[in-house]
Structure 1
Amino acid sequence: MDDLIGKEKQMKYSSDHLKTDNGSLGCSDKIIEFNIPGSVKNVSGRIKPQNFIRADFTLLRELLGGIPEESALEAKGVQEYWETFRDSFLQAQEQSIHLNGKRSRHSKKPVWLNSELLRELRCKKGTRERWKREQASIAEYRNTSWARRDAERKPKGQLEPKLARDVKSSKKVLIYGM
């Protein structure tokens, strides 16, 4: 049981912690209560994706070669050896594998969405907010939303024949936001 749990957190249990309804552990109605000592760290923040295309694996191999051997760290014990290995491995990984920065949601926009359409979309949102606060009429909001929809249909319609033409000419095309 201890081998399955791991080396960092050992569960301490005894016969008085194991409780069952009918006294035997062979039934499916068993209730097992574990006491796990220690505190759990709350990790906050976002994990940045690693860019393996720009990674320098020769540097990583050299840095991992500098980690002391098991025989040198045998006297320390498993826990200290694991902590030493983990820290040196993470440090080598930071130095050799670059991280991608956080991607903003603004970069994930459709191809046909240009600055004019964004301006009209903001205008529509502003008109909707004013209509909610009863500062604009429903007709004004309806007109701005129809104008935005019409302005959105035209670039989408122009994009489809262009995409079909590129596919027929067998160019490698990758378009996001379809």
Structure 2
Amino acid sequence: MKGYMLFRRDTSGRCGGEVALFVKLRLECMEVCLGVDDKQVESLWVRIKGQTSKGDTVVGVCYRLPEQEEEVDEAFYRQLEAASQFQALVLVGDLNYPDICWRSNTAKHKQSRRFLESIDDNFLSQVVEDPTRNGVLLDLKLTNREGLIGDVKVGGSLGSSDHEIVEFSIRRRGSRAVIKITTLDFLRATLSLFRDLLGRIPWEQALQGRGVQENWLIFKNHFLQAQEQYIPMSKELGKGGKRLSWRNKELKHKQEVHRRWKQGQAVWNAYGKVVREGTNETRKAKAHLELNLTKDVKDNQKGFFNNKRKMKDNVRPFLNGGRP
């Protein structure tokens, strides 16, 4: 393709499954060797040099066979762990995990759940929401930096491919992205229809003879379907906002280490350790705040209602008759 540099990795012994990446010639780039199990995994990694003081971005392309062996999956996870140590990572590809529900972050099969664990362990997020092939989301876009991927659009096809085209942009490092926060809007919910829909499901028949995990997934699937149908979503733009009441000095350290890591002044291992410790401290701080609010609710009603969202009187309970 004129005006582009081609990076590719061909498969041997079978048809299909090759991966390729075109990079504009004006961009300084080079292929990256992660040094872990490169031969087993159909992937390639390219480092694109950023502007001065903006840092580089690593772009990975991967293809996973629908019935890929666990050994190859584990090799890919080791690659993913190594690639996640770069400060800005974008991974794209057809990873063939059709059973994953990205909205609830759950999966039916063992290998799919292992993939979700790897994403969480490496602090990655998946940004594509719409299905990309026959009503299923197969083509994923993963990143380790919030706001790095934007303007995601799904639609159309290329040539004879049965996959939808996924368009997106990689934002410049340091550009400020507007964060969209989506929440459930219970004030506009139709809870009577929500109750009726769940009440019509023959739960004993649906859950009989199954294990705990499978029963939970069945219940969660029905619950989320009813929620999507009768409880609308509302979007708010996040631009900082008020100081979180549960935030303390220890939690500020996490933000400071994150700032140093972005500037290349801290290594990934140190940052990852602080993130894990910060997550635990956040949970403890929230629990401690809620405990204090409930203890002092009689003497400090203002503090209680400043931290808990008020609900209108016309929002009825889920069960008829108002019984808990």
Give the TM-score, by structure 2 length: 0.19
Which one has the bigger helix percentage? 1
Give the TM-score, by structure 1 length: 0.33
Which one has the bigger strand percentage? 2
- Higher RCO by CA contacts (8 Å cutoff, separation 6 or greater): 1
